[in-house]
Structures are given as structure tokens and as C-alpha cells.
Amino acid sequence: MFQKILIANRGEIAVRIIRSCMYMGIETIAIYSEVDKDSLHVQLADEAICIGKAKSNESYLNMENIITAAINKGAEAIHPGFGFLSENAQFAELCETVGITFIGPKSKTIRQMGDKSKARELMIDALVPVVPGSNGCVKDLSDAKELAKDIGFPILIKASAGGGGRGMRIAYSIDEFSTAFETAKTEAKNAFGDGSMYLEKYLENPKHIEFQMLCDKYGNTVHLGERDCSIQRRNQKVIEEAPSTIKPAIREKMAQAAIKACKSVNYENAGTIEFLLANDNFYFIEMNTRIQVEHPITEMITGIDIIKEQIKIAAGEKLSFKQKDIQFKGHSIECRLNAEIPKHNFRPSPGVILLLHIPSGPGVRFDSFIYPGSIIQPHYDSMIGKMIVHDNTRAEAIKKIRATLEELVIKGINTNQSFLYMIINNPNYIKGKFNTSFIDLNLEALLEYDEYE
């Protein structure tokens, strides 16, 4: 087992990784930008090193500085968390080159699955259902237009190197297509340095279901159940729950497809296979080759520490359990708390936390990096924490997440707390009648009681 791990991230996921390392008796090294010197992950780690200025490309995306820090501090492994360099094949390859273990899949796998059009081709070869669309990337606008007519509108235009909703546009007709294509292409080029695009049939109002996977170096592959991530805004998840309310027969088919997908690329470590579900038909859309923001709800229903399993797999250990050993208990819900102003188009709201009260009790968890006096920086993602609950049934979990949102107090900045509360109390959410269009269809009502003036 590793003696020392460097965490190449910040915020709540860095804190989360440090905690699992503490449980395992592993020393940790935190990296931080100049403005993050007082951040919680820096205070909790055994060692910390400043790697650059506030801008991400000068710090948390600076591969040379991170690798140098890891070598100088004697780290045997690097955990990238999510975001930043977590799905960067070049970074994983650099780790491999200098003899530092990258806690994640091999660089080759990241490259294969990170290229969304290539991943799509691999899944077609593995007989995993995919959304009807182009076979690989389209050559140019003219080629894309002709293919769009064959597929049929509406069309989802997607960046091959995309993620987080960037480089993605919907065209409902041929008249809209050219502008949507060029806009998505430009956005992809600016965000990822790659303007390669592919097309998919746009499925209107599907559910977004993902399976958490664990795969060791010896071909052992298990799933830890599924999560319903359909409550989204602009393709960014807002509330997730596990398990979903899909039919058991469909759940089993999706689980087997997820296992087939992982085995087809000889996947190692933790990963997530994401599907869209429409009219009882499901389709692979992408694989996330990293830990997910919403991993805690899976931990709550299985009792398995996914970060710990990631570290053990990277250290060469076999999975200590088989599929039949995994038990699913109860229901879990996660709400993503963001420093933002929903009424003002969800504008980020950086500032200083003046007062903080966190709910606690059986089945209540708050993953965060905030404390009274901590600074929410304007330079990074606006997520400040995740309120997570677990109970015996979905109905009881909804009551519990409602109570925790009522009790939670965060003063000094604006948050989306009221917005989350309105979602949880919406009758259709309570009944489980929601899909990826839920927020768009209910936005006005969900913003009605936003506290910001």
C-alpha cells in the first residue's frame, strides 16, 4: 500500500480524499494556489505545497508544477479527484513516465473514452446500445448537415472532447443547424483545444441514469448500482439520488451493459457508465473515467468507500468483494450547494462565510470545504458542498433532505439553498415524475421564493 499520496485538486473533493487516506493511515500532500493557502484541504493534509497563482492554468492545471511537487515530496501516487486533470490522458501518461501511480485508469483508456466519438464507436463494437447518430466525428458543416437530415431532427451536436455541457447545442430544424454547429464547434475549440464534433439524435425528456463501476487490474468488474441524475440545469447535475425508480428488469439490463462496456476496454479503477433512458429503451452516452461528484449517494446505499477502493485498486489489490456480496440498502439523495444567485441567472456569488451551521444526525452527511471565515474564491467552480441523506425509503429520504435544507445555515454569501428546497418540495419530484427537462419546465416556480433581493 502507498505511504504518501498527493491530491491534485482542491475544495471538497480534496478534503474527501484526505479523509479516506486518514482512515487508511496514508500520509497526504495538498497542493494549493496562492489564494487557497487557508483552504480546508491545506489545513487537513500532512504536507502542503503552493504550485502557482490563482488562475487554474497556472496552478491546478499546471502539470509540470504538480509532477515536480509530487517528486520533491516523495509521493508514490497522485489522486486527481474530479475536474481539473482527472480525465487528462497526458497527465496520466506523465505520471506513468516518472513512475508515479495515477489513481485512475490507464492513460490509453482515458484517451479512448475521453474522445466521445471514439467511445461511441467502441460501444457499438461491444454491442452496447448507443443513441442513433454519426459514426465518429463529422468532417465539416456540409457533411454534418447531410447526416443530420438522415438522422432526423432534433439533433444534438456534441464536442468529441467535451464535458460539463460545453461544446453542445441542440438544433430543432435545418434552419437552426448551421449556427448551432458553428457555435458548439467554437466553444469546444476554446474550452478543449479540439473542435471535433459528432451528432446524435436528441432524445427529448429522457431520464439520465448512470452506473457506478469498480474494476481491478485482474479483470474483476462490479457495479455499485445506479444513480438518477435527471435533475439538471444546462447539462449540469443539481440533485441526484440512488437508487432510481426505474423498472427492475431495465435496471438489470443496464447493469449488464455497463459491465460489458467496462470489460470491452479493459477498464481499471472507478468509473461511471452513463445512459439516457427513454420509453424503456436505454442508450450509452459516455463514460466518466474518474470519481463523480455524486459518489456519496452510492456509498450511502452500499456502505462501500469508493475513494478507498480506488486507492486499493491503484495499489494493485484485488477487489475484496464480488457482485453477489454487494447489498443495496435504503435510499439516498444529494443536493449540490453552489455559491450563486439563482434569480440572477445563477450568477456566482463569491465572498466570505460569516456564519455556518451544518445539520447532523443518523443518515446525514455534508461533504464540503467551508468553515466560518473561509473564502469562496471567484476563480473556481461555484460548488461549495453537498448535502447528502440516507433513509429506509425514498419518501423518508425526501423528508430528511427537506429537514436538513431547512436547518442548514450559510451566511455571508448567496447560495442555491432555496432553489434546491423548492425542487425537493415539488409534487412531481416527490412522485418521481421527472426527467432532464424538469428544471426548464418548472424554472419560474422554482425561483419564486429565492431569498436574494
Q: What is the DSSP letter of 264?
A: H
**Range from 19-33, 114-128, 380-394 carrying the lowest mean pLDDT:** 114-128
Query: Which DSSP category does 346 fall into?
Result: T
* Same domain flag for 227 and 184: no
Residue 108 inside a domain? The answer is no
pLDDT in tens, 150-206: 999 999 999 988 766 789 999 999 999 999 999 999 999 888 889 999 999 999 899
Q: How far apart are CA 81 and CA 99, in angstroms?
A: 19
For residues 308 and 415, membership in a common domain is answered with: yes
Regarding whether 317 and 179 lie in a shared domain, the answer is no
CATH of the domain at 75: 3.40.50.20
User: Does residue 45 share a domain with residue 154?
Assistant: no
373 and 426 share a domain? yes
pLDDT at 447 over 80: yes
Of 201, 202, 203, 171, which Cα lies nearest the Cα of 184? Answer: 171
Instruction: Let me know whether 183 and 212 are in one domain.
Output: no
Residue 345 lies in a domain: yes
The CATH number of whichever domain residue 190 belongs to comes to 3.30.1490.20
Does residue 137 form part of some domain?
Answer: yes
Give the model's pLDDT for residue 245: 96
Q: Is residue 369 part of a domain?
A: yes
Q: How far apart are CA 451 and CA 419, in angstroms?
A: 9
Residue span of the structural domain in which 87 resides? 4-103
pLDDT in tens, 253-272: 999 999 999 999 999 999 99
| Contact partners, residue 120, CB within 8 Å, separation at least 6 | 130, 133, 136, 198, 284
- 143 & 81 share domain: no
Is residue 146 scored above 50 in pLDDT? yes
Does some domain include residue 193? yes
Mean pLDDT of the chain: 95
| pTM assigned to the model | 0.92
Same domain, 196 and 211: no
- pLDDT at position 452 is 57
- Residue 164 and residue 223 share a domain: no
* 290 assigned to active site: yes
Residue 61: is its pLDDT beyond 80?
yes
Whether 340 shows a pLDDT value over 90: the answer reads yes
- Residues 332 and 427 occupy one common structural domain: yes
* pLDDT at 135 exceeding the cut of 90: no
Q: What per-residue confidence (pLDDT) applies to 241?
A: 98
Which pLDDT value is given to residue 164?
66
**43 and 152 part of one domain:** no
Residues 220, 196 within the same domain:
no
Domain membership flag for residue 110: no
Among 103, 123, 149, the domain boundary falls at 103
Give the number of domains in the chain.
3
Catalytic residue among 227, 251, 290, 394: 290
pLDDT recorded at residue 327 = 97
Residue in 305, 310, 308 with CA at minimum distance from that of residue 290: 310
**Residues 78-99, mean pLDDT to the nearest whole number:** 97
Average pLDDT over residues 102-115: 95
pLDDT band at 453 (very low <50, low <70, confident <90, very high): very low
Residue 190's pLDDT is 87
pLDDT tens digit sequence for 226-237: 999 999 998 899
Within a domain: 117: no
Cα–Cα distances in Å, from 283 out to 127, 173, 200, 363?
A: 11, 23, 11, 33
